Structure 1
Amino acid sequence: MISQKTIDTVFETARVEEVIGDFVNLKRAGSNFKGLSPFSDERSPSFMVSPAKGIWKDFSTGKGGNSVKFLMEHSQFTYPEAIRYLARKYNIEIEETEQTDAEKAMTDVRESMYLVSEFAAKYFNDVLLNSEEGKAIGYSYFKERGFTNETIKKFNLGYSPETWDALTKEALGKGYKLEFLEGTGLTIPREDRPFDRFKGRVMFPIQSMSGRVLGFGGRILTNDKKAAKYLNSPESEIYHKSKVLYGIYHAKQSIAKQNNCYLVEGYTDVIQFNQAGIENVVASSGTALTPDQIRLINRLTRNITVLFDGDAAGLRASIRGIDLILEEGMNVRVCSFPDGEDPDSFARKNSHEALVSYLEENSKDFIQFKASILMDEAKNDPIKKADLIRDMVASISKIPDRIQREVYIQECARIMDISEQVLVSTLAQLIQKDLADANKKQKQEQKPFEVHRNQPPNAGSFSGGDPEDPRTGPPEGYDYPGDSGYYSQEQNQKVDILYGFERKVIEVLLLYGSVVEDFEDVFLKADEEGNVKEVSEKRQYKVFEKIYLSLQEDEIQLSNVLFQNIYNNLIDFYNQNEVFSLDKYLMRLEPEFAQEVTNILMEDERLTIHNWEGQNIFPKQKSETIEQNVSETIFALRWYLVSAIIAELKNSLLTNPQEDNSETLSMVMDYSKLLNNFSKKLGRVVVPYHYQ
């Protein structure tokens, strides 16, 4: 078990923007960063990172948290895995405490499969470098390909011995279980004797974006026609071919930095480019390109350059993947190598400068590329030329952006010497057909459901109270103090104002709890003649003290159980700690509490997503008026509760009209005066909330 000291050091050292920046292409947005959500397919950024708060929020899915939570959500790490990953990233030595038998037994299947895979990678690399067979066969092969020792080390290349069960026997001897060797596909089960899947092959470990070993690719070196030249690990709990790109772990930072990704076909293409100094390159590992693989790149950049081998047959087969890239709204360029060359061989024969120069000079827009490749086939055949044009327009129809589509139509008309109007008409037909097919598919898949007319869109909780947004703004003709409006999750979907005010209390405590401010205290004081007057006096409090004392004075307990639990937890934390550390606070919270705390803290960051300041619209920062913010929050909650009392009193007047209600009427008047007092304090007119 990892010691608490190590965990504390990790939390103190890890910077959330650095950790997430390894996986998501982040751009600065004021004091924060924004990017495309790594958890959903989106084209407008809704993913926010706040370095000051040390947390992130994905507004498209509702997920959020700190660095550790991101790794757990994004890479499916367990908590210990995430801590170990961050410790490795920041070179923090991990202190271990003794695990109990029960804790050892709780190690999950996925972690066991990761550990087996990582052991196998080290074993294959050790055999390659240190065994006679490995050096004579595997190491010699890699040297013939021109790979240096540094490259072999970087990609952890290896060799699996020709022996039937070399890896299996070694792993079992080290205490790894057969079920996990079989689960990862490293070992093939057989009743009499399990045997190695990859015997007699050079090995290419396949890593996730975070560096975990997911599976392997193995290349046979003999001329055995019965055996596949390349063999990949089978699908498993940790390895899904369609969601993995070879080289993404080494390429991610360079892709984000260069804002471009080179896409190749094979392992050695990736390795040779890296050795030539071009690291922003990944491979689909010989499988057909999939939408999941494209989205993996889309997290880092919107620009892909597809590199093709020189042979014409390979080119025609490969360009089919371009339409998938276009459908994802990405920008595609294409580059082919001379006949008989592939990315591996070309990179091996040329210097870094010559390779960079070739890629820059020969990368074409996909329309130009398609035309140049297929026009030779069409030549003077009108039928084939018409088919080619139709094929090019079909590709353009996949592009979601209308402006881009129009530009490409103009380019296509110029290249193919055809009327732009004809292409536009054909494009409209194709788009209409795609929409019809999509609607038909949706209707087939859609389950019957009932829509309630009075249910607001995206019913749930929203803050911000934008009057122009029907999701978050208050009901028409309704005004109340404070700046938050929320929908409850009750069946009738009434606006739950109390929920908003209580949530606001938690928000203020989280943002400013330890800040010292001058607050106005109001109390009654008798003068020399015995007359009682209301006197105000400025006193210093920490924000959490002011809120606590105010709620205690009114004997208020938050009605929302989750908020009350977070409130109690926060007050305890502030009383025990002189300085508020969000990381330390989140560490001690249960997942349900931590998620809600993150939601609250990142709610304001919605403003930076839309770049209001770039449009000369400057939202007022709450930190500029902390005292006012805190006071208004307290008064708003009091206003609501007083309104509730007034409503209850008026209801009793209606239900008992024959009785003497003079005392009740007097109480209504007194509470109404109190509302007027709140109005003065808030500097605006407030009215009682009308209960139904």
Structure 2
Amino acid sequence: MIDQQTRQRIIDTAQILDVVSDFVSLRRQGISYVGLCPFHSDRHPSFYVTPSKNICKCFSCGEGGTPLNFIMKHEQLSYTEALKYLAKKYNIEVVEREETEEEKQRNNERESLFIVNDFAAKFFQQQLTETEEGRSIGLSYFRERGIRPETIEKFGLGYSPEDKSALSTQAQKAGYSLKRLIDVGLCSQYEDRPGLVLDRFRGRIIFPVRNLSGRYVAFGGRVMSSQAKTAKYVNSPESIIYSKSRELYGLYWAKGAISKANKCYLVEGYTDVLSMHQAGIEHVVSSSGTALTLDQIRLLRRFTPNITVLYDGDAAGIRAALRGIDLLLEEGCRIKVVLLPEGEDPDSFARSHSPSELKAFLDAEETDFIHFKIQLYQEEMQRDPMRRAELISDIMRSIALIPDSIQRAVLLQSSASLLRMDEQLLISEVNKLRRQGITAHPYATAPARPAPLAQPQQSAATASPVPQPSSSTPAAAAADSGPAPLASPPTPSQSIAPAERELMQLLLLHSRQTILIGTGLASPDEEGQPYPSEPTEFVLGPFVQRELEIDGLSSLYTPLFAHFMEELQALPPEGQDPLSYFTNHPNPDLRSLSTELLSGSEALEYRPSYTSSLAFTRMMGQSSEADAESQLLQQAEETLYYGSLTMRVCNSYKMAMLIKYMVEINQQIKQAQRAGDLETLTELVQELSLLNESKRRLSALLGDRTIVG
């Protein structure tokens, strides 16, 4: 377990812009940065990063938080694992205490698999460069393919020896368990022969697969022996750290170049990526020989919507890949296609041409996907009129998937000319398909016709428990609509009373702020006066706690708010900042709610008045004594502001609790009336009268302020 001092150093060092930029392409917008949300299918930027607050927030799905929150959610890491991730990023030495057995079991499984993969990656690299077998087989192959030493080092390429258990033997000698090796798919063991362990990648060159954060999650291996009766390529199986449908080979190395170029080349194989990198084109990724999945597309879409697919001359292969392109269109990507000369693939073409020739060819041969599809079908359409109708319908299906109406209109206009079809007829067909709810998703089924009696769906933005921006903000326009969930557990936001939100927000932001409280009224005859008659300085946090305890309100706290108040009171006065403490808290509910409250905290921030600001302006360039006086003026104004704010928020909370209690008293009065219990009824009416008097006093203090219980 990481000790408190190290944990705080990590939290204080991590910067949200640094952390998020590793995964999301951001552009500046005022004092914030904006990009596509990595936590939902986001076609318009709705994910905002605010360096001044060190938080991020999606105004569509509501996800966000501090750097620690972001890494936990994005990388699916535990609290401790996320701290270690950030420590590694910022080169902070992690000091740990001994974990309990339960903690070890919970936290170590994922990390153990990553560690095993780290060992395997180093083993494969050493076998390639430091053994005779690796040099004569693996290095020779790479040299023949024109893969340079710097590329081998950059991508961590390796070799697995022919020995059936070389890796597993070395790993177990180094202290790694056989179970972990099997769990991550590096080796296998037959049930009927428990003593026999076989390495999965024996006799193959190795292509390590790294996730977006750079960790080794899997390996791909190409067999070297022409006599081997096995698959040419073998990949790691699915595990708790690897899902093939969610990874793109080369994205770890390409993400910066993709963001810079605002474009990505999509190829099929490992060596395609390597050769194009060597030719100076680094914004390239591979789907590793499989059809594109929705997760891969959304991962890529975070960095750019502009994707160029490189095809070799194999028509059958092109047709098989078209469904993946339809998925790209549906996700709002702008797709272009480059068809390489017959007999060439991206690897061979990049190796046989200079970098300038390759770039010039790619720029010249890029074709819009819809036009490419029309050209691909031309010969077949000319041979068979009925087949022509089917293929035109297929092309219209692709256009119908495009979410942007202007792009659809432009493509329909140009397609009508190329297909020699009436444009209005094509528009009608596309509109019909969109009304039917056409989708390229392999698991979705479009309805035969719209359901006119269905209830309108609730948008994702409306369903989100977090406060949403007004419709005039860019984020509001970016919200994607979708069906609301049928049922879900209460969110942290819903697990505290509305009246507690503003109070918690005030305490998070300003609990150590000095405030000035006082009635200004001399009342020597009044016993138990709650406030001093003369203005007196207090610390905001302890004052609020005292206020609520005096009125007996602490017994009415919701459980989460009670937990917050208890931990806030226990924090040392000169210790960790409460805001940092709670927004990075191990309890996910406290952490999530604190971050949510921070994201909407502008209303509780002090702003110098015109008089105070003018005083500062006039003092500029004058004596230090005058400057000190102006600072004292602002400090006095600030303590008065937060004193007034504290009383307003406390009184609002008291009013909300009072109204809630009065509702209960009214219900008890009705029950007493029905039961004919005059004694209880009299007591309740008297109590209600006293409560109404308290309500009038609070109302006078609050003015027109609306109270929500």
Q: Normalising TM by the smaller chain, what interval?
A: 0.7 to 0.9
Paired position in structure 1 for 2:297: 294
Query: Larger deviation: 406-415 or 509-518?
Result: 509-518
Deviations 1:352-401 (A, max 9, x none): 44433333332221122222333244457544544442221111112233
What amino acid maps onto 2:9 in structure 1?
Answer: T
Once the 2 structures are TM-superposed, how far is the Cα of residue 18 of structure 1 from its aligned partner?
A: 1.4
Paired position in structure 2 for 1:576: 573
Paired position in structure 2 for 1:324: 327
Give me the TM-score of the superposition, normalised by structure 1. 0.81
Paired position in structure 1 for 2:236: 233
Paired position in structure 2 for 1:675: 695
Deviations 1:131-176 (A, max 9, x none): 1111111112112222222211111000111222211211122121
Paired position in structure 1 for 2:165: 165
Paired position in structure 2 for 1:550: 547
CA distance in structure 1 between the partners assigned to 2:307 and 2:444 by the alignment: 32
What amino acid maps onto 1:231 in structure 2?
Answer: V
Alpha carbons of structure 1 residues 628 and 395: separation in structure 2 relative to 1, 3 Å? farther
Paired position in structure 2 for 1:220: 223
CA distance in structure 1 between the partners assigned to 2:341 and 2:494 by the alignment: 67
CA distance in structure 2 between the partners assigned to 1:685 and 1:130 by the alignment: 76
Which of 509, 518, 529 is the matching residue for 2:507?
509
What amino acid maps onto 1:198 in structure 2?
Answer: F
**Is 2:182 the counterpart of 1:179?**
no
Paired position in structure 2 for 1:448: none
Once the 2 structures are TM-superposed, how far is the Cα of residue 75 of structure 1 from its aligned partner?
A: 1.7
SS for the counterpart of 2:266 is strand
CA distance in structure 2 between the partners assigned to 1:280 and 1:436 by the alignment: 29
CA distance in structure 1 between the partners assigned to 2:437 and 2:115 by the alignment: 45
SS for the counterpart of 2:592 is helix
* Contact in 2 for aligned 1:37/1:299 (Cα 8 Å): yes
Once the 2 structures are TM-superposed, how far is the Cα of residue 62 of structure 1 from its aligned partner?
A: 5.2
Which of 628, 639, 647 is the matching residue for 1:631?
647
Alpha carbons of structure 1 residues 522 and 637: separation in structure 2 relative to 1, 3 Å? farther
**Is 2:391 the counterpart of 1:401?**
no
Deviations 1:284-319 (A, max 9, x none): 101111112111112322222211124444333333
* Contact in 2 for aligned 1:514/1:579 (Cα 8 Å): no
What amino acid maps onto 2:291 in structure 1?
Answer: A
CA distance in structure 2 between the partners assigned to 1:106 and 1:230 by the alignment: 34
Once the 2 structures are TM-superposed, how far is the Cα of residue 630 of structure 1 from its aligned partner?
A: 3.2
Paired position in structure 1 for 2:588: 591
* Contact in 2 for aligned 1:265/1:285 (Cα 8 Å): yes
**Is 2:597 the counterpart of 1:600?**
yes
SS for the counterpart of 2:196 is coil
What amino acid maps onto 2:577 in structure 1?
Answer: F
Query: Larger deviation: 495-504 or 273-282?
Result: 495-504
Query: Larger deviation: 205-214 or 92-101?
Result: 92-101
Which aligned pairs between 1:39-438 and structure 2 lie closer than 5 A? Answer: 39-58=39-58, 63-95=63-95, 108-190=108-190, 191=193, 192-224=195-227, 226-379=229-382, 382-434=385-437
Deviations 1:9-63 (A, max 9, x none): 3222211221122122334454344433323234344544343333344565555
Paired position in structure 2 for 1:565: 563
Query: Larger deviation: 267-276 or 200-209?
Result: 267-276
SS for the counterpart of 2:523 is strand
Query: Larger deviation: 592-601 or 286-295?
Result: 592-601
* Contact in 2 for aligned 1:675/1:687 (Cα 8 Å): no
What amino acid maps onto 1:500 in structure 2?
Answer: P
In structure 2, stretches of 5+ residues that fail to align are 449-454, 456-460, 473-486, 608-640
SS for the counterpart of 2:207 is strand
Once the 2 structures are TM-superposed, how far is the Cα of residue 203 of structure 1 from its aligned partner?
A: 0.4
CA distance in structure 1 between the partners assigned to 2:439 and 2:105 by the alignment: 53
CA distance in structure 2 between the partners assigned to 1:265 and 1:32 by the alignment: 37
Once the 2 structures are TM-superposed, how far is the Cα of residue 553 of structure 1 from its aligned partner?
A: 3.5
Alpha carbons of structure 1 residues 514 and 352: separation in structure 2 relative to 1, 3 Å? farther
CA distance in structure 2 between the partners assigned to 1:461 and 1:371 by the alignment: 46
* Contact in 1 for aligned 2:210/2:249 (Cα 8 Å): yes
Alpha carbons of structure 1 residues 516 and 407: separation in structure 2 relative to 1, 3 Å? farther
CA distance in structure 1 between the partners assigned to 2:440 and 2:252 by the alignment: 38
* Contact in 2 for aligned 1:113/1:238 (Cα 8 Å): yes
What amino acid maps onto 2:546 in structure 1?
Answer: L
Deviations 1:169-218 (A, max 9, x none): 11122121222222222213131521222111110011111222121111
In structure 1, stretches of 5+ residues that fail to align are 445-450, 452-456, 469-488, 606-618
CA distance in structure 1 between the partners assigned to 2:206 and 2:136 by the alignment: 15
Deviations 1:320-372 (A, max 9, x none): 32111112222212222233322222222344444333333322211222223
Alpha carbons of structure 1 residues 661 and 427: separation in structure 2 relative to 1, 3 Å? closer
* Contact in 2 for aligned 1:127/1:159 (Cα 8 Å): yes
Once the 2 structures are TM-superposed, how far is the Cα of residue 587 of structure 1 from its aligned partner?
A: 4.7
CA distance in structure 1 between the partners assigned to 2:218 and 2:547 by the alignment: 59
SS for the counterpart of 1:525 is coil
Paired position in structure 2 for 1:499: 497
SS for the counterpart of 1:576 is coil
CA distance in structure 2 between the partners assigned to 1:496 and 1:589 by the alignment: 19
Query: Larger deviation: 371-380 or 299-308?
Result: 371-380
Alpha carbons of structure 1 residues 356 and 2: separation in structure 2 relative to 1, 3 Å? farther
What amino acid maps onto 2:587 in structure 1?
Answer: E
Deviations 1:402-423 (A, max 9, x none): 3332222112113223211110
CA distance in structure 2 between the partners assigned to 1:415 and 1:82 by the alignment: 54
Identity between Structure 1 and Structure 2 (%): 39
Alpha carbons of structure 1 residues 429 and 376: separation in structure 2 relative to 1, 3 Å? same
Alpha carbons of structure 1 residues 354 and 562: separation in structure 2 relative to 1, 3 Å? same
Deviations 1:544-576 (A, max 9, x none): 244233323423214211101102212332x43
CA distance in structure 1 between the partners assigned to 2:177 and 2:592 by the alignment: 36
Paired position in structure 1 for 2:615: none
CA distance in structure 1 between the partners assigned to 2:382 and 2:140 by the alignment: 47
SS for the counterpart of 1:193 is strand
Which aligned pairs between 1:454-493 and structure 2 lie closer than 5 A? Answer: none
* Contact in 1 for aligned 2:59/2:469 (Cα 8 Å): no
What amino acid maps onto 1:119 in structure 2?
Answer: F
Give me the TM-score of the superposition, normalised by structure 2. 0.79
* Contact in 2 for aligned 1:53/1:582 (Cα 8 Å): no
Query: Larger deviation: 622-631 or 285-294?
Result: 622-631
* Contact in 1 for aligned 2:78/2:107 (Cα 8 Å): no
What amino acid maps onto 2:655 in structure 1?
Answer: W
What amino acid maps onto 1:9 in structure 2?
Answer: R
Question: In the comparison of the two structures, how many residue pairs are matched?
Answer: 639
Alpha carbons of structure 1 residues 390 and 463: separation in structure 2 relative to 1, 3 Å? closer
Task: Provide the aligned C-alpha RMSD in A.
Answer: 4.0
SS for the counterpart of 1:238 is coil
